[in-house]
Structure 1
Amino acid sequence: MPVNLDPSLYLKNQSSERTPSTNLGKDEFLKILMAQLQNQDPSNPMDDKQFISQMAQFSSLEQTMNMAKSIDSLVESQMISPVIKYSHMIGKEVSYRAVDEETGEKGEEISSQVVSVSQHEGWAVLELKNGDKIYADAAIQVSDPTEEVEEEG
């Protein structure tokens, strides 16, 4: 029974164009190191110290790349955290409308200072000096109580 091979896998059908890249990653570093080992002069092999130095450089490169990935993921996770996103509101005065829990009707406008920020089911919750807790998007107005309000006169 003859076996049919996919013609796209033949070497003559493979792209012979090389796309140069300015980035050298760990894969390229390993390829260079392997090429050095395979093509070394048997009568004058690579110096042990030089080989160990290159392996140390490779290890350092890999650790640096892993650390960069970890920092990127840390920054990304911090950017989406509602607590971090709304932490600048601590100390600010917020105005909001009280909601009657039984009827669901909005009542009078209340103002209080934000003392902390937490999250509940992915939403930022502002904990206020008066004991209330409101979702950040329920705030009608945000002001800085340390700034003096100029009176019109």
Structure 2
Amino acid sequence: MNVNFQTAAAGERNQVNGVPVAKPEDTILGKDDFLKLLIHQLQNQDPLDPMDDREFIAQMAQFSSLEQLTNMNANIQQFTQQQEHTSLVQLSGLIGKQVNWYRIIEDDNGFEERHYSENEVTAVRRNESGELQVQLDTGRWVDSRQLTEVALKSEPSEGDDE
């Protein structure tokens, strides 16, 4: 039996000059497409020469594996999004605290050196690349991986006012 996978899996298509044109998302077969193909194959099989039981069981096992992998992928994506949100919320706990951080500067000989500074954190964000950053009291944004130490902001003691 011949099955036209393009036609069976593509679903609705746009047409240009009467010719069907596949949309980009049509090029990837999903679990619904595989199920449609299996049903199409069963409906169009030769009644005098039906599908072998072992072949049918193997196809069902593959379909079951595909569905489980699809569900696992969706769960991993959801977990990743939750972790990204949690990381940002946890980083917001640094607002108002003193942090030590470093930046790498190239010296006159071309060697990289770490220069350390201390500032107060005023804001946090996730940049366009998805990296977590903190804003310092100077207005500078620093990657959170450049932080080396966190401390409470030192309050002036009562004797300092005199």
Q: TM-score, normalised by structure 2?
A: 0.46
Larger gyration radius, structure 1 or structure 2: 1
